[in-house]
């Protein structure tokens, strides 16, 4: 089985701060990590490899700094890591990103493509499903469990209030939830292998035979008009009292503010 896992390097925080002047993310001083849902995707792929024997390729589109995320993926135990990096890709929205990734994926053999559900910085959850559309593949999102049954995959798709068990033929694409597993750590040996050798393959726009008009900022239908941070409300006051007294207190406060 050939598995491709798409990952994104994101800032290690769920409270992304935004520069109010430029409207861009403040990345300074914030370490970068593999997006948690994507990391669960890597772990899921390695577990499949351990059970059924598979070849895993991890692919990421990003600036040269994203190489470290791919090295981490390699040190966890995947077979091949590819970084799609080119100035032509800069400024891509989810549409241009998913199209670029699908051009790269077309160059590879695959039975299963795993994407994380969504990235903690953009939170769109669009790239995975869009790749499936570009490649005309069946897709199952919000997957929390993967099993193999003959030539099909048996997947558990999770909803807020329940789940579905879905059987799907390969090749297909799934989006993974971070809740599906606890990703393993890197091993020291693989870390030292990574840094002693040129392990990350860098692919440019020429390597994926893509027309420059189809990627990057100008090929992105979504343009960010304005970004603003929420103004923080004044911090509340904590009262630790018995429920009965609490009710009385709330009533008083609401009356004070003429709410009731």
Partner 1 sequence: MNFELSEAHKLSQQMFRDFALNEVKPIAGLIDEEERFPVENIPKMAKYGILGIPFPVELGGQGADNLCYAMAVEELSRVCGTTGVIVSAHTSLCAAPIYEFGTPAQKEKYLIPLAKGEKLGAFGLTEPNAGTDAAAQQTVAVKKDNHYLINGSKIFITNAGYADIYVIMAMTDKSAGTRGISAFILEKDMPGFSIGKKELKLGIRGSATCELIFENVKVPLDNLLGQEGKGFKIAMQTLDGGRIGIAAQALGISQGAIDETIQYVKERRQFGKPISAFQNTQFQLADMQTKVDAARWLVYHAAFLKGQKKAYSKEAAQAKLFASEVAMEVTTKAVQLFGGYGYTREYPVERMMRDAKITEIYEGTSEVQKMVIAANILK
- Dig out the tokens for 128 from the structure: 């995975």
User: Tokens representing 202?
Assistant: 């860098």
| DSSP E strands, 86-126 | 112-116
The answer to the question of residue 68 lying near partner 1 (CB under 8 A) is yes
Interaction of residue 32 with partner 1, rule CB under 8 A: no
Query: Residues 188, 232, 259, 260: which binds partner 1 (CB under 8 A)?
Result: 188
Residue 8 exposed, middle or buried by CB count within 10 Å (0-12, 13-18, 19+): buried
Residue 120, interface with partner 1 (CB under 8 A)? no
- Tell me the window of 90-98, 142-150, 184-192, 237-245 that interacts with partner 1 (CB under 8 A): 184-192
Query: What is the per-residue burial (b if ≥16 Cβ within 10 Å, else e) of 177-200?
Result: bbebbebeebeeebbeebeeeebb
Residue closer to partner 1 (CB basis): 166 or 191? 191
Closest distance of CB 253 from partner 1, Å: 22
Least separation, in Å, of the C-beta of 67 and partner 1?
A: 9
Question: Could you tell me which of 179, 188, 184, 149 has the C-alpha nearest to residue 166?
Answer: 149
Distance CA 128, CA 175 (A): 6
Does residue 191 belong to the site contacting partner 1 (CB under 8 A)? yes
Among 71, 117, 134, 178, binds partner 1 (CB under 8 A): 71
Q: Is residue 192 close enough to count as binding partner 1 by CB under 8 A?
A: yes
Instruction: Report the interface residues with partner 1, using CB under 8 A.
Output: 68, 71-72, 75, 184-189, 191-196
């Amino acid at each position: 089985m050939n598995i491709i896992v798409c990952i994104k390097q994101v800032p290690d925080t769920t409270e992304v701060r935004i520069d109010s002047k430029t409207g861009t993310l403040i990345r300074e001083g914030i370490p970068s990590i593999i997006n948690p849902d994507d990391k669960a995707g890597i772990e899921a792929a390695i577990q499949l490899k351990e059970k059924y024997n598979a070849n895993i390729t991890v692919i990421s589109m990003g600036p040269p700094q994203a190489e470290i995320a791919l090295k981490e993926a390699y040190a966890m135990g995947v077979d091949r890591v590819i970084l799609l990096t080119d100035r032509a890709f800069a400024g891509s929205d989810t549409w241009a990103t998913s199209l670029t990734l699908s051009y790269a994926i077309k160059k590879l053999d695959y039975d299963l493509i795993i994407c994380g559900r969504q990235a903690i910085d953009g939170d769109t959850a669009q790239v995975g499903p869009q790749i499936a559309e570009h490649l005309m593949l069946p897709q199952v999102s919000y997957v929390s469990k993967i099993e193999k049954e003959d030539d099909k995959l048996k997947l558990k798709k999770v909803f807020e209030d329940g789940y579905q068990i879905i059987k799907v033929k390969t090749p297909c694409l799934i989006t993974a939830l971070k809740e599906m597993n606890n990703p393993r750590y890197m091993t020291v040996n693989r870390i030292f292998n990574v840094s002693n050798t040129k392990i990350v393959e860098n692919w440019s726009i020429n390597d994926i035979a893509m027309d420059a008009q189809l990627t990057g900022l100008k090929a992105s239908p979504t343009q960010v008009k304005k970004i603003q941070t929420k103004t923080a409300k004044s911090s509340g006051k904590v009262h630790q009292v018995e429920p009965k007294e609490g009710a009385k207190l709330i009533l008083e406060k609401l009356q004070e503010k003429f709410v009731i």
